[in-house]
Structure 1
Amino acid sequence: MVIKEITCKTAISKCGFPSGGWAINPYVGCAHGCLYCYARFMKRFTKHTEGWGEFVDIRVNMPEVLKKEIKREKYKNGNINIGTVTDPYQPLEEKYEITRKILEILSEYPYPLSILTKSDLVLRDIDLIKKFKNIDVNITLNTLDEDWKRVVEPNSPSIERRIYTIERLKQENIKVYVMMGPFWPFFSDAEELIKTFKVLGIEEIYTESFNTRGGTFSEIERLMSQHYPNLLPRMKEILFDKENFNNFYSLVKENLLELAKQYNIKINIYFGRGHAKFHSL
């Protein structure tokens, strides 16, 4: 792992999510090393030659920059999202506490805030999170298959730890959403996932189809050939053939909408090649 301390000129940027708003990313790169991560495009803006998941740059001066920047009037409009192209609670956060310092600064402002993470380290900051009137924590959980998780998310917290994180946040009356994405062929069991979310008290979930752009499938293909050789051909047929892709995700969408109605959970679905369409129940 290549770790560098760097400085940034700005702390806030426009968010590329369909919902818009603003983005704050305390780190460049992510030690979780999720093979499917869309954020690997960030390598284009760095001089790193290492693979995705093998480097992290710490934006050590971000809290100081944010303290000045957040005073601008324009940030009153739109949600602020922490962790759109990195995990703000990846392991280095335990040492550097950049995300915690960011929360301390933002707690003085009334802006709506979303934290996106896979990590139980977010529990460390419950004291700060509870100071916000309009905040949510969005936990990614797209499978209940721990073996598959270890293949595609080699260094991320376990499914068990994420479920515990959701439970603890809910116990503290903190709003929690779940990102059930990407929705995997074979490894994302729609009904089991939604049943689990219902038991955990989740009221709203998000999901998206797998994004094949930017070389996100190459490492997955290599590891599937080792661990899931029988499933690999069909996985490629679904993800890379337009007709198969559309058929698969159309059926999944219908199933998810029916399950959402059955379990009384709001679901936001982003399925499609390129810019996904948005559906909500």
Structure 2
Amino acid sequence: MPFDWSLNPYRGCQHGCSFCYARSTHSFLGMEADDTFQHHIVYKENAAEALRLQLDKWRRSRSGVQREVAIGTATDPYQPIEAKMKLTRQCLELLSEYQVPVSITTRSPLILRDLDVLKQMNITSINISINTLDPSVWRNLEPFTPSPALRLETVSRLVEEGFHAGIFMAPILPFLTDDEDSMESLIRSASEANVKFVMSSILRLNTSEVKSWFFQTLRTHYPQYVPGYAQLYQGSVYAKDSYRTETKARIQRLFSKYRIPVNEPFERKAAPVQHQEEQPVQLSFSF
């Protein structure tokens, strides 16, 4: 993974993306990976307190190595609940105090609320996730996310403010967002937004729970594609190698055409990190 630590103040996500690989984390708590993932949000009430304990331990034991913290690797740190709880902001304030390198991944313009804190931090990158500009695909598969247009405006604003900000073009969805016109439209818009980079990633169905929910969504909105997906992902969490190779080649051609800097995820391996002793308290409520 291209980071050393990850930080997720919330478990579950109100955005309700049908393809979210983090759905399976609800099963760890004995909950379902279906709509429960969207409507039953678990939050770490003492996230900042627990984070300070871990940062203090790191400060005492570190050997001069700056370890990066990735925020939003599982669920969106700026999903709607953050507007009220402000747990992500509290954690950012602490990370700013310790000057720990931080990357953030989100689908939400709410990140702009925290520009004052972000400007005081050691931000390595801000990744705004957008996988399509098609309004139908967006609404069917990401029912409660901010619109792609708002997300493009957000990344453009972040670049204007001097951040190393770009687009996480993920996940690329076979038969839905992988055609030449769709990908070119998004990459061209990214170029017009003056993004610093684009990352791309093809859909990964990492567990049976995630796969089951995604296929259920396909049967509802795109039943004609179910057989194709079944063939592409037969016996694997990844699409077949031939599909991935061909799709990535087309993406690279578009990046070259629009002179988009490429920032591929998973470029390096992180050093092993021992599990921390402090376990944050978790409370939850339903929507």
For 2:249, the equivalent position in structure 1 comes to: 254
1:97 positional shift: 0.4
| 2:12 paired with 1:23 | no
For 1:116, the equivalent position in structure 2 comes to: 105
User: Separation in 2 of the partners of 1:48 and 1:80?
Assistant: 28
User: Separation in 2 of the partners of 1:118 and 1:197?
Assistant: 15
Q: Which amino acid aligns with 2:50?
A: V
| 2:201 paired with 1:208 | yes
Contact conserved, 1:129 with 1:135, CA < 8 A, in 2?
Answer: no
Contact conserved, 1:191 with 1:259, CA < 8 A, in 2?
Answer: yes
User: Separation in 1 of the partners of 2:27 and 2:226?
Assistant: 29
For 2:258, the equivalent position in structure 1 comes to: 263
Contact conserved, 1:210 with 1:239, CA < 8 A, in 2?
Answer: no
The 3 A distance-change label for structure 1 pair 130 and 115 is same
Match of 2:38 among 45, 50, 53: 53
Q: Which amino acid aligns with 2:51?
A: L
Q: 5+ unaligned residues in a row in structure 2: which ranges?
A: 269-287
DSSP-derived class of the 1:217 partner: helix
For 1:69, the equivalent position in structure 2 comes to: 54
For 2:183, the equivalent position in structure 1 comes to: 190
Contact conserved, 1:35 with 1:217, CA < 8 A, in 2?
Answer: no
**4+ residue stretches of structure 1 with deviation over 4 A?**
241-244
1:225 positional shift: 2.6
1:268 positional shift: 4.2
Q: 5+ unaligned residues in a row in structure 1: which ranges?
A: 1-17, 271-275
Q: After TM superposition, list the pairs within 5 Å mapping 1:26-37 onto structure 2.
A: 26-37=9-20
Contact conserved, 2:19 with 2:141, CA < 8 A, in 1?
Answer: yes
User: Separation in 2 of the partners of 1:152 and 1:62?
Assistant: 30
Q: Which amino acid aligns with 2:244?
A: Y
Identity of aligned residues (%): 31
| 2:208 paired with 1:219 | no
TM-score calculated relative to the size of structure 2: 0.81
For 1:166, the equivalent position in structure 2 comes to: 155
Match of 1:137 among 112, 126, 129: 126
User: Separation in 1 of the partners of 2:90 and 2:97?
Assistant: 12
User: Separation in 2 of the partners of 1:33 and 1:111?
Assistant: 30
User: Separation in 2 of the partners of 1:226 and 1:277?
Assistant: 36
Q: Which amino acid aligns with 1:55?
A: H
- Count of residue pairs brought into register by the alignment: 256
User: Separation in 2 of the partners of 1:120 and 1:207?
Assistant: 20
Superposition RMSD in Å = 2.3
The 3 A distance-change label for structure 1 pair 24 and 241 is closer
DSSP-derived class of the 1:101 partner: helix
Contact conserved, 2:18 with 2:217, CA < 8 A, in 1?
Answer: no
DSSP-derived class of the 1:174 partner: coil
For 1:273, the equivalent position in structure 2 comes to: none
| 2:25 paired with 1:42 | yes
The 3 A distance-change label for structure 1 pair 265 and 118 is same
Q: Which moved more, 1:96-105 or 1:190-199?
A: 190-199
The 3 A distance-change label for structure 1 pair 102 and 230 is same
Contact conserved, 1:110 with 1:134, CA < 8 A, in 2?
Answer: no
Contact conserved, 2:2 with 2:267, CA < 8 A, in 1?
Answer: no
Contact conserved, 1:89 with 1:117, CA < 8 A, in 2?
Answer: yes
Contact conserved, 2:21 with 2:204, CA < 8 A, in 1?
Answer: yes
Q: Which moved more, 1:27-36 or 1:88-97?
A: 27-36
Contact conserved, 1:67 with 1:105, CA < 8 A, in 2?
Answer: yes
1:182 positional shift: 1.2
